[in-house]
Amino acid sequence: MEIQITFDANDPPSLAAFWAEALGYRLQPPPEGFESWEAWEDSQGIPEERRSDWSAIVDPAEGRPRFYFQRVPEGKTAKNRVHLDVNVGGPPGTPLEERRKLVDAEVGRLAALGAVEVRTAEEHGEYWTVMTDPEGNEFCLQ
């Protein structure tokens, strides 16, 4: 069974580019036989005004799920009911002080890409930061 994670978005290509950089993914290449997505879209008769209605990113190592970004007419209006936890603090057993440094460094990197830091917490020996992506979707770095 394969899993795909889908994001509703105002600007799918931009949000896909953010998450590709955040997760070490790459933009999904065009289907076999096409040199570009534009060539594929031409072959499918997709009108120019609909060509940025979606985007996708894939794991270069092919071990993690595909992310799909689709344009929707409405903006985000409430807190996510599901969010991503991005584990950047090292493997299990990494000392708390080292995890803090790793998480904080990633907070800075993603903020430079357009993410916003919401809050940082430390509880029961765990350390994490809640952030939002450029379209306001919450996620955690831990």
**How many structural domains compose the chain?**
2
Do residues 131 and 19 touch, judged by C-beta distance below 8 A?
Answer: no
User: Among 50, 71, 92, which residue terminates a domain?
Assistant: 71
Could you say which of 32, 48, 71 is where a domain stops? 71
H helix count then E strand count, the chain: 3, 8
Q: 67-103 in b/e burial notation, b at 16+ Cβ within 10 A?
A: bbbebeeeebeeeeeeebebebbeeeeeeeeebeebb
Q: Is residue 79 part of a domain?
A: no
What is the rounded CA–CA span in Å between residue 102 and residue 19? 19
- Which backbone phi and psi does 82 adopt, to 5 degrees? -135, 140
| Cα diameter, the chain | 55
Residue 16 lies in a domain: yes
Tens digits of per-residue pLDDT, 27-38?
999 999 999 999
| For range 102-114, the mean pLDDT | 98
Domain boundary among 17, 39, 71: 71
Show the tokens assigned to 140. Answer: 């955690």
Asked whether the predicted pLDDT for residue 107 surpasses 90, the reply is yes
Show the domain range for 47: 4-71
Whether the Cβ atoms of residue 86 and residue 77 lie closer than 8 Å to each other: no
User: What is the distance between the alpha carbons of residues 43 and 37, in angstroms, rounded to a whole number?
Assistant: 10
Q: 47 to each of 31, 32, 37, 53, how far by Cα in Å?
A: 18, 21, 13, 11
| pTM confidence score | 0.91
Query: How does residue 21 score in pLDDT terms, banded at 50, 70 and 90?
Result: very high
pLDDT of 79 higher than 90:
no
Q: Residue 22: its pLDDT value, please? A: 97
